[in-house]
Structure 1
């Protein structure tokens, strides 16, 4: 049975795993998941009760959570020599550290801000939004320092950390742009956007960016006409 990958084309966490699929050149049946559809939602929750995307199914085996999905793909489906996790133990720890930092301090606060804009005006939470903006600014400074001596997020090679960085920074910069204090981070982000695995993921998502609530902040080539 082919790999089945359940995803939504606007989801940053789905983009993270899609970049890994593209980078590793792993074929999968990519299935658009519409949780607004009652039947799809019921089937998905039966497989993974948290309801969180993406989800990988491998011959009936359920593989959830983006970092686990990426490690699973690299271990079981990548060609020999292809990996997004270094074999060296210390290098692998750095990749996992940067992956977690990006998920926790860029991806999640970005999602909190986007989610707040989707609420009705009376239900919005300015305190959480401001705190999330502060977290993004802190994270940018931290990443700027980390990039002082490396080409990619966790070292000399593209890794799982870069799979996390691409979508988290892509969306986060529509809310809190880089400043003059982040030249290395801005240069790194430009390299990310040119990576074929990242470019393919964003290009396939392009038709859906019209539904993104901060679409006015997207890079010019991705803004809806």
Structure 2
């Protein structure tokens, strides 16, 4: 039985779970969570403590949280993409960067997005300002890290976290010109076939972006 992934094609964390599936050519079934499929939403509500997706069902195993899904796929559906480096020290770095992209880039994005979801006409300026500051600080840290270090080989857990977070973060707070390494990383990631597939599959849903999707990417 092939794995089943519950999620939405416009969701950054769903992308995070889809990228390794695409990269390794792993057969899977996708079940969209949305108003057209209430049974899928009901399953996710039961499977996750707060009803969030993505959720992976692989035989008798249910895995929640996108990072854990990537780890599961690395163990049970390995392929040409080295999702988790075999070297323990490199694996630590991979997991560290995964947390940076999830907690600080996507964390900043979500703070701004939630402010617009709460009141699209008058989003909380404090939340918008704080989210932007979080992103700018994360950009500067990542630019410095990239100046001193090399990323693990694509496609890794870092790719799975960085691609969606950089995609959406740049929509919320443009990556500045004084972060050329980070800008180049974003361009590089969006050109990878597994990531480009996510971008294209999500294109019909761009009107869902509460700030208004930019006419690019």
Normalising by structure 2, we get a TM-score of: 0.92
Q: Distance in 1 between matches of 2:213 and 2:145?
A: 29
Q: Which residue of 2 aligns with 1:113?
A: 112
1:207 aligned to which of 204, 208, 211: 204
Count of residue pairs the alignment pairs up: 217
Report the alpha carbon displacement of residue 17 of structure 1 after superposing the two structures with TM: 1.1
Q: Distance in 2 between matches of 1:203 and 1:2?
A: 24
**Contact kept? 2:81, 2:154, Cα under 8 Å:** no
Q: Which consecutive unaligned segments of at least 5 residues does structure 1 have?
A: none
Report the alpha carbon displacement of residue 41 of structure 1 after superposing the two structures with TM: 3.0
Q: Which consecutive unaligned segments of at least 5 residues does structure 2 have?
A: none
Q: Which residue of 1 aligns with 2:9?
A: 9
Q: Distance in 1 between matches of 2:38 and 2:197?
A: 30
Q: Distance in 2 between matches of 1:157 and 1:41?
A: 32
Q: Distance in 2 between matches of 1:193 and 1:124?
A: 29
SS in 2 for 1:31: strand
Q: Distance in 1 between matches of 2:139 and 2:186?
A: 11
Normalising by structure 1, we get a TM-score of: 0.88
RMSD: 2.0
**Contact kept? 1:34, 1:41, Cα under 8 Å:** yes
* 2:173 pairs with 1:182: no
Q: Deviations over 1:86-121 (max 9, x none)?
A: 010000000000000110000121012112112235
Q: Which residue of 2 aligns with 1:145?
A: 144
**Contact kept? 1:24, 1:74, Cα under 8 Å:** no
Report the alpha carbon displacement of residue 44 of structure 1 after superposing the two structures with TM: 2.2
Q: Distance in 2 between matches of 1:83 and 1:40?
A: 30
